[in-house]
Amino acid sequence: MTPAMATAPAEGMGMDMQTDEALAGLARVLAREAAAVRELRDALVRQREGVAGNAIDAVQGSCDDIARLLVTLDAAKRSRVGMLARLVPDGPGTLEAVAALCGGSLPPALAEASLALRREAAATAREAAVNRAVLQRTVEAGEAFLQALFAGAGDRDSIYHAGEHRDDDGSGFLLDRTA
């Protein structure tokens, strides 16, 4: 695309065929990004279910999925930023700038894709917040269990009950004197 596309007057849904194709491409990128965000949300739910069910394989699988999806989302974001920069080379590279380029509003397909991405992102952020709280409580419960488990490790009463303590007079040691 050329800088002339960014300053051409709006015609219908776009400036020219090349710009219309770029806008349609941006809508597809946003739709793919929304799908990846939806997959991330599903992986977060699977992770939480794995923690609740004490299913280590499910938790590990969901962690692998989350890592893969975060890489996918990073690539999608870079693609979106690049497309926005080509559409609005001298502007801020935002959807608002693209809307201004299109005569004040985004083409319907692009507006729908943008709204879908925002909705998916908000829902995924809520799931991530729930997971963060659940995982924090799980870690705290695990730490409390370990503290309780090892708190009495040096306590003689953990082995001997009151009145059953062995005297430390040295008796009871065996020595092998046949050396």
Of residues 158 and 82, more confidence is placed in 82
Name residue, tokens 């917040």: 129
Check: pTM over 0.75? Answer yes or no. Answer: no
Token readout for 5 is 């596309």
The answer to whether 98 touches 86, Cβ cutoff 8 Å, is no
Q: What is the DSSP string of 33-88?
A: HHHHHHHHHHHHHHHHHHHHTT-HHHHHHHHHHHHHHHHHHHHHHHHHHHHHHHHS
How high is the pLDDT of residue 6? 41
pLDDT at 162: 57
Pull the structure tokens for residue 135: 């995982």
Name the residue ranges covered by the structural domains of the chain. Answer: 15-150
Nearest 5°: the CA angle 118, 37, 61 is: 160
User: SS3 helix, strand, coil % of the chain, rounded to 5?
Assistant: 70, 0, 30
Q: Using one digit for the tens of pLDDT, what is the confidence trace for 125-178?
A: 999 999 999 889 888 888 888 888 888 655 555 555 555 555 555 555 555 566
Percent of the chain with pLDDT over 70: 76
* Tens digits of residue pLDDT in 19-35: 889 999 999 999 999 99
Give the angle 95-98-99 at the CA atoms, nearest 5°: 90
% pLDDT > 90, the chain: 54
Residue 85 contacts by C-beta under 8 Å, 6 or more apart in sequence? 93
